[in-house]
Amino acid sequence: MNKKMMILVISLTIILNTFIGCSFDKKNEQQDRNIKPKGNVDELEKEEEVDPIFEEIGKMSLDEKIGQMFIIGLEGHTMDDSAIEMLEKYKVGGFILLGENIDNSMQLLHIINELKSTNKKNKIPLFISVDEEGGKISRMPDELKKIPTNRIIGQKNDKEFSYNIGSIIAEEIKSFGFNINFAPVLDIDSNPNNPVIGDRSYGSNEKIVSDLGIQTMKGIQSKGVISIVKHFPGHGDTSVDSHVGLPKVDKDVNSLMEFELIPFKDSIENNVDGIMIAHILFNNIDPHNPATLSSKIIEELLRGKLNYEGLVLTDDMTMGAIMENYDIGDAVVKSIDAGSDIVLVCHGYENMIQALESLKDAVENGIIQENRIDESLYRILKIKEKYELQDVIIEEVDIDKINNNMSRILNYYEDK
């Protein structure tokens, strides 16, 4: 090896050793920084923030937790002892007012104020709910103008009109103190023999149902009212009214995904707050349980396949589809175990007691774990917080203003 070559090799060796040495030094320095951070570790670590809703849940009794998972009905036009008991003993989370509970605007305002006033002893404000869809499914007093059916709205097929219909419905019901509306209907009217949906649907075209239903939903939400869409996974292709019996549908998941579920999927993508589950038996999905009692429908399909994280509510558990086939207490436990968050019990004091106490017994006996209750409770309290619900007493309702606003919207679109 000549002299020049030897000098080159030596030089390269020195450079290489220097580079490797620096690399190891930097690596060791980094490792040392990771192992021994400068300063006090406690000062560097920020204390993790505690979710106030979790804190609230931690302070609640089992009775308070279970009560929040129920929306119940009333008997008659006034508060009675059983309604007071439901609030004071069972701590129920909400009420639904039906046509049989509403006589006129003054009476309606009075009974809602009474519910709120009685609930003042409880820490959590009430859901005050109603089915105000328009058309024949309207609970509002006769002094108020009527909203057209969804079928008529579907025939117009105007998204702006649908949005404004949702907005005026919300303005109307919120003026009395309602804060949750079981509407709009997202069922597709695909079966001419359907005895329960019909003109409650926007039509037989899935895109029209989806487009208009979502706009109505957004209109309702725009006024600070919670919109619960219904009836998942679709009541449009049934030939039995679930109020009197248990409908059965033979479609599988793939068939539903291609048609019935399209409006529900779209509503989830548009931030729906709550979805109501139907009392329908889907033989090819779960041959043993109607949707309201089925983890395959609620957990696997709705929450799993459709990635839905919001509130799940049952349809009324005192409808014939449940009462003619199940013990209501067993059905409620099964529904909560399947993934429902809120159970709707519209009729019968004894039914309400049985439903509430059966769920409590199931938790105390380990059939349902308390953390499962807490999971639903978190969603319930989260939505009440989101909409800033309060048991505020309303002194009066301006009926003329509501009617004028409604007439303006209806007349405008009538002329288009």
Is 110 inside any structural domain? Answer: yes
How many distinct structural domains can be found in the chain?
2
Task: Tell me the per-residue pLDDT of 135-168, one tens digit each, with 9 for 90 and over.
Answer: 999 999 999 999 999 999 999 999 999 999 999 9
Say if residues 260 and 215 touch (Cβ distance below 8 Å): no
The whole-number pLDDT of residue 4 equals 44
Residues in the chain: 416
Q: Is 243 a catalytic residue?
A: yes
Nearest alpha-carbon partner for 275 in 340, 189, 218, 347: 340
User: In terms of domains, do 278 and 238 share one?
Assistant: yes
53: DSSP letter: H
Is 244 inside any structural domain? Answer: yes
CA distances, 82 to each of 65, 66, 139, 178, 352 (Å): 20, 17, 22, 21, 10
The whole-number pLDDT of residue 82 equals 95
Is 414 inside any structural domain? Answer: no
User: In terms of domains, do 139 and 21 share one?
Assistant: no
Say if residues 106 and 128 touch (Cβ distance below 8 Å): no
The CATH number of whichever domain residue 322 belongs to comes to 3.20.20.300
The whole-number pLDDT of residue 412 equals 80
Read off the tokens for 226: 């919670």
Q: At what angle do helices 206-222 and 262-269 cross, to 10 degrees?
A: 30
CA distance 59 to 75: 32
For 35, residues 6+ apart whose C-beta sits below 8 A from its C-beta are none
Say if residues 330 and 358 touch (Cβ distance below 8 Å): yes
Measure CA of the first residue to CA of the last residue in the chain; give whole Å.
99
Is 397 inside any structural domain? Answer: yes
Is 228 inside any structural domain? Answer: yes
Read off the tokens for 307: 């990635």
Determine the distance from the C-alpha atom of residue 140 to the mean position of all C-alpha atoms in its chain, rounded to a whole number.
23
CA distance 208 to 316: 27
User: In terms of domains, do 108 and 195 share one?
Assistant: yes
Residue 16 domain boundaries: 3-44
Q: Which residues pair with 344 in a beta bridge?
A: 71, 316
Is 415 inside any structural domain? Answer: no
User: In terms of domains, do 35 and 125 share one?
Assistant: no
Residues of the chain short of pLDDT 70, as ranges, are 1-48, 239-241, 415-416
Read off the tokens for 193: 């023999």
User: In terms of domains, do 16 and 97 share one?
Assistant: no
Say if residues 70 and 342 touch (Cβ distance below 8 Å): yes
User: In terms of domains, do 129 and 26 share one?
Assistant: no
User: In terms of domains, do 223 and 272 share one?
Assistant: yes
For 277, residues 6+ apart whose C-beta sits below 8 A from its C-beta are 231, 232, 291, 292, 297, 298, 302, 312, 313, 314, 315, 340
User: In terms of domains, do 256 and 173 share one?
Assistant: yes
Residue 249, φ and ψ in degrees, nearest 5 = -130, 135
User: In terms of domains, do 297 and 240 share one?
Assistant: yes
The whole-number pLDDT of residue 190 equals 87
User: In terms of domains, do 286 and 320 share one?
Assistant: yes
User: In terms of domains, do 93 and 21 share one?
Assistant: no
The whole-number pLDDT of residue 48 equals 60
Active site residue: 315, 316, 337, 341, which one? Answer: 315
Is 416 inside any structural domain? Answer: no
Active site residue: 110, 158, 243, 374, which one? Answer: 243
Is 134 inside any structural domain? Answer: yes
User: In terms of domains, do 369 and 276 share one?
Assistant: yes
